[in-house]
Amino acid sequence: MTANPETCDIFCAVVDNYGDIGVSWRLARQLANEHGISVRLWVDDLASFGKLCPEVDAALGEQRCREVEVRRWDKDFPAVTPAGLVIEAFACKLPESYVEAMAAQEHKPVWLNLEYLSAEEWVEGAHRLPSPHSRLPLTKYFFFPGFTAKTGGLLLERGLLARRDAFQADRASLTPALSQREREFWRSVGVPERAADELRVSLFSYENDAVTGLLRAWEQGAMRVVCCVPEGRVLPQVAAFFGQANGTAGDAWQRGNLSVYVLPFVEQERYDELLWACDVNLVRGEDSCVRAQWAGKPCVWHIYPQHDGVHMQKLRALSDLYGVGLPAAAHQANAALWLAWNGEGDISAAWSAYAAQLEPLEHHATAWSAKLAANDLALNLLAFSRQVA
């Protein structure tokens, strides 16, 4: 007899920033809303969660949100019957009592560790590997997201690319005009509509030594650049460029050919719209990097820095994979800008070379998103769970 895969517990420990909860929340919603699974999402930091989904009340131990049962993951873990499918996000440690309860089930739950995203080659070999528990009759499986068919794929909500296309629709026409949705979006964040002669970029990154050089390149460049910066870690550096101590949503600064608008940190769906509405997106970590790829626009990745420096290998791996199919000059410009944005190289020269390749980069970004869409993480995860149940 198999466990009931129609129920799912997802455990998310927020280590740092928003990526852990960003991915867990996306997966929870997708399983509940698109696959009819009864999902409980256990989160140890509801305040961070509330930034991505303002409906979440950080004071509540239990609540329902968008068809997902959200439970605060406190130290004293309650006695609950484990779900048929148990997902620990990013190797967070499940409560011991819960693991014991899993082992005590007649039909053992399917237990998956949803891993961090990497384009490195070893991921294909590690994806779906079993890891038997040292003491209990349980097996945990590693489930790796990724960019190739031999990995678990990427989270992609049903209809997302069609919604993106509708949002961006009029831009492709001969007389470019903004769609109503795009107009509404800019109005809602207090930023003027985009003009035909400007390059609009979004900037979401960690503190970054290359920021000043990039802002200067935009300020002194031939093209008008409008840069939208959501409130967050890089904002003090951007503010300092304009001689300000810090910034807050609603601030706007201008110098030379560069205008900067400070945006509020918006909920996840609206952040997608920001990515769809910009020509180039500077993104970070894991989830925003994937969302920028779904936007079908050129993107520049600030990777989450690790102390041992292994993040640069990860950066190169995605840059190499992403570059397949790009004309050589565009591939080189993309790779050089990603490296310079992560501390290796001259950011000003890298931006000039990149700006000269925007057309092929844009074509490639659209084709890349279509190619990736064939490998849907939620579908793969459910198929695998049913196979090993």
124 CA to centre of own chain: 21
Q: Which residue's CB is nearer to ligand TRH, number 157 or number 170?
A: 157
Reduced to 3 states (helix: H, G, I; strand: E, B; else coil), residue 302 is strand
Cα separation, 299 vs 25, in Å, equals 23
The two structure tokens encoding residue 309 = 């420096």
Q: Which residue's CB is nearer to ligand TRH, number 22 or number 82?
A: 22
- Residue 357: phi and psi, rounded to 5, are -110, 15
Q: Which residue's CB is nearer to ligand TRH, number 17 or number 148?
A: 17
247-266 binders of ligand TRH (CB under 6 A): 265-266
Task: Give the contacts of 297 (CB within 8 A, at least 6 positions apart).
Answer: 275, 276, 278, 279, 280, 281, 362, 365
Q: Per-residue string for binding with ligand TRH, 117-146, x by CB under 6 A?
A: ------------------------------
Q: Which residue's CB is nearer to ligand TRH, number 97 or number 306?
A: 306
Cα separation, 282 vs 380, in Å, equals 29
- Residue 217: phi and psi, rounded to 5, are -60, -40
100-119 binders of ligand TRH (CB under 6 A): 116
Reduced to 3 states (helix: H, G, I; strand: E, B; else coil), residue 174 is coil
Cβ atoms of 21 and 52 within 8 Å: the answer is: yes
**By CB under 6 A, residue 20 contacts ligand TRH:** yes
280-309 binders of ligand TRH (CB under 6 A): 284-288, 304
* 286 flagged as catalytic: yes
The two structure tokens encoding residue 16 = 């740092």
Q: Which residue's CB is nearer to ligand TRH, number 15 or number 104?
A: 15
**Scanning the structure block, which residue is given the tokens 């769970």?**
385
Smallest distance, ligand TRH to C-beta of residue 59, A: 21
Cα separation, 98 vs 81, in Å, equals 8
User: Exposure string (b/e) for 42-64, b if CB count within 10 Å is 16 or more?
Assistant: bbbbbebbebbbeebeeeeeebe
The residue of the chain with the least Cβ separation from ligand TRH equals 19
Q: Which residue's CB is nearer to ligand TRH, number 58 or number 223?
A: 58
Q: Per CB under 6 A, which region of 15-23, 78-86, 237-245, 339-347 contacts ligand TRH? A: 15-23
Cβ atoms of 346 and 271 within 8 Å: the answer is: no
Smallest distance, ligand TRH to C-beta of residue 368, A: 18
178-217 binders of ligand TRH (CB under 6 A): 204
Task: Give the contacts of 189 (CB within 8 A, at least 6 positions apart).
Answer: 228, 261, 263, 264, 266, 270, 274
Q: Which residue's CB is nearer to ligand TRH, number 202 or number 357?
A: 202
**By CB under 6 A, residue 341 contacts ligand TRH:** no
Q: Which of 9, 20, 273, 287 is catalytic?
A: 20
* 20 flagged as catalytic: yes
Q: How many positions of this chain bind ligand TRH (CB under 6 A)?
A: 22
Smallest distance, ligand TRH to C-beta of residue 287, A: 4
Q: Please, which residues bridge with residue 130 across strands?
A: 141
The two structure tokens encoding residue 81 = 């019957």
Smallest distance, ligand TRH to C-beta of residue 87, A: 16
Q: Which of 44, 273, 286, 287 is catalytic?
A: 286
Residue 190 φ/ψ region, left for φ over 0, alpha for ψ in the -120 to 50 degree band, beta for the rest: left
The residue from 268, 332, 348, 366 that contacts ligand TRH (CB under 6 A) is 268
Q: Per-residue string for binding with ligand TRH, 43-62, x by CB under 6 A?
A: ---------x----------
Binding site for ligand TRH (CB under 6 A): 15-20, 22, 52, 116, 204, 230, 265-268, 271, 284-288, 304
**Which residues does the annotation mark as catalytic?**
20, 286
